[in-house]
Structure 1
Amino acid sequence: MKGKKVKDCCVTLSHVMLPEDANPAGNVHGGVIMKLIDNAAGVVAVRHARCNVVTASIDRLDFHSPGFIGNLLTLRASVNDVGKTSMEIGVRAETEDLMTGQVCHTASAYLTFVALDKDGRPCPVPPLISENDVQNRRRREAKARRTSRLEEKKKEKRCQSSHEGCA
């Protein structure tokens, strides 16, 4: 299977935040931002795998600053690393006050997607080709997060079968 470059799959999506995206005080709901993050990451995953994909997990979702009605929410998403059938996608969300031009880092997230074949079973994804130091660093960090996720899953499984040492 031929590898793919990060730049061939990344995406930038923008949305104007409207009243239906916010609470009565004008703050954009975190769930709206989360949904748009998932959509942007899903586009990247499909571009990389060129098949159906599903969100397997959201490793981190950190909110840094609020968004408001009238802001332009821009999401930048790219593949950080790939496994056999899975991909970690990183997404950065920023809001821009269109009147002042001020841009704020609103949220960041790491999502894992699994590629599916026509029968809905996990299928192989193309290898990732890193082209620079930033992409190499992101791959190393993604591998570390994957190792942590797998250790946490093992711990959860142990705790489900025996409550000793689980808090």
Structure 2
Amino acid sequence: MQQEKAMNESRVVQTRLVLPPDTNHLGSIFGGKVLAYIDEIAAISAMKHSRSTVVTASIDSVNFLSSVKAGDILTLESFVTGTGNTSMEVYVRVHRENLKTGEQTLTTTSFVTMVAVDDEGNSKPVPKVVPQTEEEKWLYTSSKERREKRMK
């Protein structure tokens, strides 16, 4: 197994159209729908990093910052920001784009912890993550504090 991987090797971007069945009676996307998207993209980033099956250990934080309406485009981006022995912290951010105006807004941020598992479901070691950009370095450094809070 490779001992270290650059953070950007786990980067995933997904784009989705928000349709009326995805929304509540106010025309805003269901929070649970966004959570499902976050869980899925976080898993993909963690699988790319670990090159193995992963399971969700926790969704550490979810911040819904602004609403998303039917007809908006959602762009989700995720990447591994920190690693333990078998776990990976994945940062996910979600932007909405109004197709008529082109306006883009950050709508949701989240940190998800994933654990790599083997074919029997036992946890397995993952490569260390190496930050390169200033944003990545900040997320990497702050991941240690978030990990300590999770462990309490």
Q: Could you say whether these structures have the same fold, taking a TM-score greater than 0.5 normalized by the shorter chain as the test?
A: yes
Please state how far the C-alpha of 1:132 moved relative to its aligned partner: 3.0
- Over alpha carbons, which structure has the higher Rg? 1
The one-letter code of the counterpart of 1:57 is S
In the alignment, the residues of structure 2 paired with residue 25 and residue 63 of structure 1 have an alpha-carbon distance, to the nearest angstrom, of 16
In the alignment, the residues of structure 2 paired with residue 132 and residue 73 of structure 1 have an alpha-carbon distance, to the nearest angstrom, of 24
Name the residue aligned to 2:63: 62
In the alignment, the residues of structure 2 paired with residue 132 and residue 105 of structure 1 have an alpha-carbon distance, to the nearest angstrom, of 20
Runs of 5+ unmatched residues, structure 1: 152-167
> RMSD of the TM alignment (CA)?
0.9
Task: Report runs of 4+ in structure 1 exceeding 3 Å deviation.
Answer: none
The one-letter code of the counterpart of 1:14 is T
Say whether 1:76 aligns with 2:77: yes
The one-letter code of the counterpart of 2:123 is P
Deviations 1:99-135 (A, max 9, x none): 1101111100000000001110000001112223322
Deviations 1:125-154 (A, max 9, x none): 011122233222111111100001111xxx
TM-score with structure 2 setting the length? 0.96
* SS of residue paired to 1:137: helix
Structure 1 segment 106-121 matched on structure 2, within 5 A: 106-121=107-122
* SS of residue paired to 1:100: coil
Identity over aligned pairs, percent: 36
Runs of 5+ unmatched residues, structure 2: none
The count of corresponding residues between Structure 1 and Structure 2 is 151
The one-letter code of the counterpart of 2:31 is G
In the alignment, the residues of structure 2 paired with residue 74 and residue 131 of structure 1 have an alpha-carbon distance, to the nearest angstrom, of 23
Name the residue aligned to 1:25: 26
* SS of residue paired to 2:28: coil
**Which is strand-richer, 1 or 2?**
2
In the alignment, the residues of structure 2 paired with residue 134 and residue 101 of structure 1 have an alpha-carbon distance, to the nearest angstrom, of 25
* SS of residue paired to 2:80: strand
The one-letter code of the counterpart of 1:87 is M
The one-letter code of the counterpart of 1:86 is S
